[in-house]
Structure 1
């Protein structure tokens, strides 16, 4: 018997099992009976063919059981990795977490835990990568934002670290560690005389990227951007500039509503206290 007939016979067997159970009402039973007859006729199934059909329900149960077993093994590896971390066997912990990720790559906790192992080994770029992977799976994961901020601080990327700590505080407002890290980062930036705008930092700012992703997935924002592009094409037409300004203001309002704290941080980066031209700062250099 062909593979196709084996599958089709399995479907017929499943439908007949349903007919023998109490799962269907009268109308549904009639429909299923007609469907069985049509399938048997269309594929010219004999009783011998039907007896050789696969048990689809059993296959599904086996697959579910296998998936559960795989997840259980991944969780076991994660717990073993946690024990290795406590014993300061960081390289071994890293291997445990990596194996857990191979088994269950959709679990953000495994990436976040591996980020912690990377940090203990001084592998800060890998901490950033794993923290970002965790956030891609779970954008509102406070611990991942916190670990990202610590790694960025170690890499002297303080503007991005501030954004990561600020998001961590926003998600877990009672976490004193995140608050202290945010305070220290802001002090460091204030003392360093950092330029008002760090475009590279902004483009890699995970919180800004998260907000942009959320905004772009909003149908209202998609309509707004479409309108903005149309207005840009006709910016020289009468009223075109005003339309651009209105669209820009609407975009700013959407960003403010989505994440007011991040917008305030961006505003401070563009116009920092004590920066050029600000209180206690030097006047801006003349245009060249």
Structure 2
């Protein structure tokens, strides 16, 4: 459930931020606070738990920035409505063909952008690279540089768009894949980051930066998978074999105080076992109890007990063909109730 819990934490953080920054009217604050608490409880997410927050946080990304990436990516699939939009989002059929003067001026703006980057004036750098793109939208370097500037301001959503634009202009421009992977990684989308680094390595297998980025991204993907597996509930038994193993495990334990000898299971543990309780309920509802009571093996076992022979041991129960068949019936009845019909 880890990815769902990440989403839930992001939603709760968004609601809390909306309360604090005045986005929500005061009359609605109490309702939102209650909603946040209910959502957290439903998905077992506690935003005040520091350890859980560290595990689930997607910072520096936020729910609005992630949603913004989706909206802008979807917008890229549409035909640009204005020349300015066409320059910002390149397409092979709509790119402006720059003149020699345009290219010279664009290089001048790129140089200004590089200068602003060196002094950490990132907004000025973004503006300068934007001017270069308007003049020459066929040069992937300008998009790639602006992607780096966006990432420097933690605006990784726009960095992704610019990196993708650079790749669209020139699919063999390796640096753009690194920019794209870095932006996805910063937004905690490690699978997308790994995919971007891999695409770059296909073009430049010896690129150390791409190799390092891929290794880091893949390690985080593995961590997420391990966390999801750890959060998964244990599988329920699905037949007579699983039931036999459960009974054998119960039978091998110490006898309950006052229990008769003979290697029988701890009945207190048996009745307190959730799986056994579930099986009993399902047997009563699907006729399994009647079938078991009519089994000759059960009658023989009860006759043995009544004549003073004591309860059979668990190994003896499971080695007797008749009793094993009874256990199989019990398990099959429970399995049918738990798993539902096998045909649709």
Normalising by the residue count of structure 2, what TM-score does the alignment of the two structures yield? Answer: 0.38
Between Structure 1 and Structure 2, whose CA radius of gyration is higher?
2
- Structure having greater relative contact order (Cα 8 Å, sep ≥ 6): 2
Normalising by the residue count of structure 1, what TM-score does the alignment of the two structures yield? Answer: 0.45
